[in-house]
Structure 1
Amino acid sequence: MSESVKWNSTLSFLLAMIGSAVGLGNIWRYPYIAYTNGGGAFLIPYIISILLMGLPLLFIEYGAGYKFKAGITKVFRKINEKYEYLAWYIQLVPFFIMTYYSCIVAWDLLYIPASITKSWGSNPDNFFTNVILNNIDGFSGFTSISLYVLIALICIWVIAWFISHKNINDGLAKANKILIPLLFVIMIFIVFYALNLPGSMIGVNQFITPDWTSITKLDIWLAAFGQIFFSLNLGLTIVLAYASYLPDDVDIPRSALRVAVANCGFEVFTAFGVFGILGYMSSTSGIALNELVTQGTGLAFVAFPQVFNTMGIMGNIIGFLFFLCILFAGITSTISLIEPVTLSITNKFGSDRRHIVSLVCIVGCAVSLIYCTSCGSTIIGLFDGFLSQFGLLLNALLEIIIIGWIYGVDNLMDDLNKNATILRLGNEWKFMIKYLIPAILTVLWLSGMKELLTSGDVFALTVQSILIALLIILPAILTKLPAKVDDY
């Protein structure tokens, strides 16, 4: 890799890392997970899971990217060329996630102008399901598309390409320096406004009221470890790719701590705003809070528009800002998902970065078109369930085995501690990486697989079978193609 391909400042790297981690899951997943898993008591397993799994896994990807100055495929090949196939499998998981993630961001893009006039009317559920998605269940959904989603999706891909095809400092770094501060400022305004709404404390109190009996339940701990895994984008190889551009003088442990604190602090802070708004809705509508609390698209595109309807003119303003926040978070995460596969392809096949990014965006956009069909939202749910419960967890296990065990975590320690000031990694971190984290990931993986295998119908099994076939065949093709770079 050329020595010129480096972040021009530590701030650029940190904002890029925060931008990749702060995404849709922070805004609509954490509040639901915390509320349904012990409320205020959830913070205990949440913080412990950051220390026991989040940070050590960050260190593994930081260390590998920093030491090898390459993407995951070249890292694995340098360890042993027979692992290249596994690396391409790992790399394709975030690629497929990127294809449907961009579509969810496209849905949000449609809600920004809709929020100005509250186009969803008195029935946001019908607006989202039938107007935006043009939803039709089952195989017959392939026969029609949502024109609105198609147009918005192309816009998102054009934005992502425009940012990513430039060099990392003119593209990724500049975009994150603009979008991340704006995202934080707008969210701070929304949260403080929400906390001053009448009845907001009803929601906040229910959110933070601890259920101490939940601490002894295994499911609560698994929920905490799962939230940290997805919140910090572990297993996506984004960290590894970004770390490969680091200059030699960076303090890796301190950088990892800053990213973890910023990301997790953002999602906890955001949750107060979410529950403040839901508390207001509960007090004005008479609907019990537990009937309003949901996660994912149901919260963002159905529950919140219902709340904005009750706010008068402020609902137009807060709604616009809310969906703008989701857009900013979605764009920074989308461009971060483009980077790992771009780096791996460049490492093996060379060529100009602009050409590789253009190729990745064209192929990614083409795959995304399937989500514009009337069964697109169903396919997204199936892809997300499979890739998050099977793909990402297996990714992290493979990284631990090949980098932590076969290559040896000891071979990364000198690089990780090279410029360390406030924290030096020692034997306790090695124990967690080699023994504790694999055990946790295995339990999470088995739990996810059990859920997948017991919840599928014919349509779901067909879609997931096609995805499995792609994840087996495509890595074999990419592995067999001859490298065009001498030191690959």
Structure 2
Amino acid sequence: MTTAPQTEGLPTQRAEWTGQVGFILSAIGSAVGLGNIWRFPGVAYENGGGAFLIPYIVALLTAGIPILFLDYAIGHRFRGSAPLALRRLAGKLGEGIGWFQVMICVFISLYYTAVLAWAVSFFVFSFDLRWGDDAVAFFVGDYLQVSESSITFDFVPAVLIPLVAMWVIALLILGAGVVKGVQRLNVVAVPLLVVGFLILVVRALLLPGAEEGLNALFTPDFAALTQPDVWVAAYSQVFFSLSVAFGIMLTYSSYRRRKSNLTGPGLVVAFGNSSFEILAGIGVFATLGFFAHQQGIGVGDLEGLTGVGLAFMTFPAIVAEMPGGEFFGALFFGALTLAGLTSLISVMEVVLAGIMDKFGLSRAQAVYGIGGVFALISIVLFGTSSGLTALDTIDNWANNIGIVGSAVAMTITVLWIRRAGTELSGHLSALSTFKVGRTWLFLVSILGPLVLGYMLVATIIGLITTPYGGYDSTYLLIVGWGSVAVMIIASIVLTWIPWKRDPDLFTVWPPIDTGGVSRAAIEEGAR
């Protein structure tokens, strides 16, 4: 007879989304972030244009969605944060990987809030086009006051004030809880983001030169498909944009009710995220086409087609030249703010959930205690004139080394060492309308680790042989590799600290052998 799960290992009754819509919007809110707007268009343009959609879709189907399902299965079956769920699945080795994912989110949250503060500032600046005729000089000089020294502690008031404000807002949302805070934010912000960005895209398409921009983005270069780097770029983009393998989707799925369809909503989240990326590509390159048209040059001759340069240097310059630029700028930076805020909340939730599970803290203690400490660290590091350099360096190492390394370690541990593929596949299929089987197992246990392992090795070799961003090698060693070292050491230390309550006092549900369990019995046990 199927019995309801035992939950003695949890510090309190676990929070739950109010329904499927709340979960889907929250998951989309996490996946749709700054990278969708400022990274995907440039990556696509530089890797074959329209032809890039082929490896992108292949990567989505063979790595993005399968690993997203893996996160869902682990979080939902073992009902915990990344350290708790992976501990219940794979012992202390799994817990260590879970804490590594938490530490990745710690570092991301520290600098992500800074970018969010920049976006809020430029939203305000849009109303009077404060950057004037030289957007680059304004951003680097007047606003950030970037120092020639790699490390300084000269605070910049223009950054410091919005940075403090964004931390206050984030902590208040997180302190309100999973439903009243996180879910409520996403239910409002995600539809608002989509509507706002649709208006922005329509406006961009009506600009002179928009067609040239779209031609630059979508004209296919099929010869690029023969280059391994293009395929690596596709897997990298899909992997990072879906927020997989660093605790977010695992944590969010642990808040789902026992009787929950997992794979169907997963497909909605994955394709919703990809659709927004393509929408962002259209809007961004239509606007870039206008900018190139105004200057009488080709789109390929423009600088700053991706990342921070695109958002805070190129776009302000475009806005200054277009009719109704104030409205267009406010819309763009408002969208950037909403996308960044929903992603920041998801990153911080990974950290808070792990701390609450491990140490038995209340949400208020975790949010305002631990979160407050992170806010102070973030302000000291990124509220200064050397914040841009630190942000660029930590972002590169956290994403390209931390997240990819986490994915390789998790898949090998869970699927090769623990051999839990059949169990997790059975869990997904027993509860979901879209079943998974041998194909999914092959993708997550063989193809995924091989592709991601290749990406990780290639990235490490590249960072060793060529100093990233032209920065000083000693600085990169301390800040870049040092960040990864701190993640690893902290993961080991946190793993060996005793749990407040025994994490192993837990019974998985449904039972591992779900083959003979009817759907009626499963649904009865979920009640």
Q: Per the shorter chain, which TM-score range?
A: over 0.9
- How far apart are the structure 2 equivalents of 1:239 and 1:189? 29
Q: Does 1:424 align with 2:439?
A: no
Match runs of 1:105-184 below 5 Å: 105-139=116-150, 141-184=151-194
Match of 1:435 in 2: 446
Which deviates more from structure 2 when the two are superposed, residues 474-483 or residues 213-222?
474-483
Q: Could you tell me which of 258, 270, 276 is aligned with 1:260?
A: 270
Contact in 2 for aligned 1:346/1:353 (Cα 8 Å): yes
- How far apart are the structure 2 equivalents of 1:471 and 1:378? 20
Contact in 2 for aligned 1:135/1:377 (Cα 8 Å): yes
Contact in 2 for aligned 1:138/1:459 (Cα 8 Å): no
Letter aligned with residue 348 of structure 2: I
Q: Does 1:468 align with 2:479?
A: no
Q: Does 1:459 align with 2:475?
A: yes
- How far apart are the structure 2 equivalents of 1:419 and 1:364? 38
- How far apart are the structure 2 equivalents of 1:35 and 1:435? 30
Match of 1:68 in 2: 78
Match of 1:332 in 2: 342
Q: Does 1:203 align with 2:191?
A: no
- How far apart are the structure 1 equivalents of 2:362 and 2:72? 25
Contact in 1 for aligned 2:109/2:347 (Cα 8 Å): yes
- How far apart are the structure 1 equivalents of 2:206 and 2:93? 59
Q: Could you tell me which of 291, 294, 310 is aligned with 1:281?
A: 291
- How far apart are the structure 2 equivalents of 1:416 and 1:116? 49
Normalized against structure 1, the TM-score is what? 0.97
- How far apart are the structure 1 equivalents of 2:20 and 2:367? 24
- How far apart are the structure 2 equivalents of 1:28 and 1:122? 22
Normalized against structure 2, the TM-score is what? 0.90
Match of 1:54 in 2: 64
Which deviates more from structure 2 when the two are superposed, residues 353-362 or residues 115-124?
353-362
CA offsets 1:177-224 (integer angstroms, 9 cap, x no match): 110010000000000110011111010111111111111211111110
Match of 2:107 in 1: 96
Contact in 2 for aligned 1:64/1:403 (Cα 8 Å): no
Contact in 2 for aligned 1:194/1:200 (Cα 8 Å): yes
- How far apart are the structure 2 equivalents of 1:101 and 1:119? 24
Q: Could you tell me which of 43, 51, 65 is aligned with 1:41?
A: 51
Which deviates more from structure 2 when the two are superposed, residues 358-367 or residues 79-88?
79-88
Letter aligned with residue 165 of structure 2: C
Letter aligned with residue 195 of structure 1: L
Which deviates more from structure 2 when the two are superposed, residues 426-435 or residues 397-406?
397-406
SS at match of 2:152: helix
> Taking structure 1 as reference, are residues 193 and 428 closer, same or farther at Cα in structure 2, changes over 3 Å only?
same
Letter aligned with residue 447 of structure 1: A
Q: Could you tell me which of 418, 422, 425 is aligned with 1:413?
A: 425
Contact in 2 for aligned 1:137/1:378 (Cα 8 Å): no
Q: What displacement does 1:448 show?
A: 1.2
Match of 1:480 in 2: 496
Contact in 2 for aligned 1:134/1:145 (Cα 8 Å): no
- How far apart are the structure 2 equivalents of 1:263 and 1:137? 38
Q: What displacement does 1:275 show?
A: 0.7
Q: Could you tell me which of 19, 25, 30 is aligned with 1:9?
A: 19
Q: What displacement does 1:249 show?
A: 2.1
CA offsets 1:255-298 (integer angstroms, 9 cap, x no match): 11000010000010111111111111111111321122511110
> Taking structure 1 as reference, are residues 82 and 393 closer, same or farther at Cα in structure 2, changes over 3 Å only?
closer
Contact in 1 for aligned 2:84/2:503 (Cα 8 Å): no
- How far apart are the structure 2 equivalents of 1:451 and 1:138? 25
Q: Does 1:304 align with 2:315?
A: yes
- How far apart are the structure 2 equivalents of 1:81 and 1:437? 23
CA offsets 1:327-374 (integer angstroms, 9 cap, x no match): 000100000001111111111111211211222321221221211221
- Number of equivalences: 485
SS at match of 1:14: helix
> Taking structure 1 as reference, are residues 181 and 401 closer, same or farther at Cα in structure 2, changes over 3 Å only?
same
> Taking structure 1 as reference, are residues 359 and 287 closer, same or farther at Cα in structure 2, changes over 3 Å only?
farther
Q: What displacement does 1:447 show?
A: 1.6
- How far apart are the structure 1 equivalents of 2:96 and 2:263? 30
Percent identity over the alignment?
34
> Which runs of 5 or more structure 2 residues have no equivalent in the other structure?
1-9, 468-472, 505-527
SS at match of 1:134: coil
Contact in 2 for aligned 1:338/1:360 (Cα 8 Å): no
Match runs of 1:269-418 below 5 Å: 269-292=279-302, 294-312=305-323, 314-368=324-378, 369-407=380-418, 408-418=420-430
- How far apart are the structure 1 equivalents of 2:93 and 2:446? 24
CA offsets 1:429-472 (integer angstroms, 9 cap, x no match): 10111111000001110121122112332222222243234223
Letter aligned with residue 102 of structure 2: Q
Q: What displacement does 1:4 show?
A: 5.4
- How far apart are the structure 1 equivalents of 2:241 and 2:383? 26
Contact in 1 for aligned 2:16/2:257 (Cα 8 Å): yes
Q: What displacement does 1:82 show?
A: 4.4
Q: What displacement does 1:231 show?
A: 0.8
- How far apart are the structure 1 equivalents of 2:411 and 2:488? 21
Letter aligned with residue 480 of structure 1: W
> Taking structure 1 as reference, are residues 361 and 3 closer, same or farther at Cα in structure 2, changes over 3 Å only?
closer
- How far apart are the structure 1 equivalents of 2:38 and 2:258? 37
Q: What displacement does 1:419 show?
A: 2.7
- How far apart are the structure 1 equivalents of 2:481 and 2:37? 31
- How far apart are the structure 1 equivalents of 2:192 and 2:497? 43
- How far apart are the structure 1 equivalents of 2:317 and 2:148? 24
Q: What displacement does 1:3 show?
A: 4.5
Letter aligned with residue 426 of structure 2: D
- How far apart are the structure 2 equivalents of 1:191 and 1:82? 47
CA offsets 1:113-132 (integer angstroms, 9 cap, x no match): 11110000111001100112
CA offsets 1:38-91 (integer angstroms, 9 cap, x no match): 111111110010000001100110000010000111123222134433332222
Letter aligned with residue 58 of structure 1: L
Match of 1:226 in 2: 236
SS at match of 1:116: coil
Match of 2:5 in 1: none
Contact in 2 for aligned 1:386/1:452 (Cα 8 Å): no
Which deviates more from structure 2 when the two are superposed, residues 347-356 or residues 84-93?
84-93
